[in-house]
Amino acid sequence: MQKKIISIIIFIFFAVTLKAGKEKIHPAIKSALIPGFGESSLSRPSQSRFFKLLELTLWSTCIGFYKFSKHEKLQYQSYAAKYAGTNIEEKNHKYWVDIGNYLSLEQHNAEHLRWRQINDIYEAEYYWKWKSKGHMAKFEEMRIRSDKLSKYGEYTLGIITLNHIVSSINSLYLSKVSDNLKLHSSIQENNIELQLLFKF
């Protein structure tokens, strides 16, 4: 996940840099790509700084959630290997959910046979058998904690997307104000005149 995030950031940076060399990019587009970038081009340093710091904070938080989620996943997989005899290789998420709800492979398969859910039956290579219900309960707590952290990472990605949208809309508004607001000045003998014009 972290590698994908870094790749996206690098791609956006080079895309904006290359395009900027060819033509002028609208501030709203700049902010859609990198929040605060459009505000910076419109000489709004405080707003630019706000969106940039928010973006940095959100990405740091997102990476942190996914990193801790992965760490917790490795922990519960090792725990299952030690106390349930599982082989952790090539197991999908459903498997880890199932072993947190059944004491053994036999118990799981027997129940699903009664329900006639043949497709959910596990083969022998998916073997597990917990030493106790306490071990199974502790594993399930670890697994749920990992899933929650991953979900928090997804929520943070949603907020990051929202930050891009808000910054883009803000830059669009600021650019419209800048286009419509004109300041004219003239200096005459013993007189300085300023005119502020706003187009509706």
In this structure, the number of other CB atoms found within 10 A of the CB of residue 74 comes to 12
Q: How far apart are CA 2 and CA 60, in angstroms?
A: 10
Query: Rounded to two decimals, what is the model's pTM?
Result: 0.74
Beta carbons of 190 and 199 less than 8 angstroms apart = no
Mean pLDDT of 77-105: 96
pLDDT greater than 80 at residue 180:
no
| DSSP-derived 3-state class of residue 117 | coil
Which pLDDT score, from 0 to 100, does residue 50 have?
Answer: 94
**What pLDDT is recorded for position 183?**
41
In the chain, what percentage of residues exceed pLDDT 70?
Answer: 76
The predicted pLDDT at position 42 comes to 86
Q: Is the model's pLDDT at 40 over the cut of 60?
A: yes
